[in-house]
Amino acid sequence: MKSTSGWKEDWNGTNESGFNGLPVGGRESSGSYGLSLSLGSWWSSSQSDSNNAWARYLYYAFSFVSRHYYYKAGGFSVRCLKD
């Protein structure tokens, strides 16, 4: 799912899925930004509880997608799909 370029330390992916995930980092709930070359993060449409929502992550050193919940006050990418 990772893009074939742009990732930290040449940990690029193969993009076999066609998702083309880029490492754009995220926004902390405090307002600071970070991990711009190390992490790709996307909100899901699923809420964890009233303060948190589920997100999917791609990390530069791993070849799998992980799922975690995070404060809604943070900021991640959104993937829009056309029906």
- Asked if 2 and 9 count as a contact pair (C-beta separation under 8 A), the reply is no
Confidence class of residue 4 from pLDDT cuts 50, 70 and 90? very high
Cβ proximity of 56 and 1 under 8 Å = no
Query: What are the CA-CA distances from residue 12 to residues 3, 30, 51, 52, 75 (Å)?
Result: 6, 29, 33, 30, 23
pLDDT category at 83 given cuts 50, 70, 90 is confident
Question: Which residues are CB-contacts of 52 (< 8 A; sequence separation ≥ 6)?
Answer: 69, 70, 71, 72
Q: Express each pLDDT in 16-68 by its tens digit.
A: 999 999 999 999 888 899 889 999 999 999 999 999 999 999 999 999 999 99
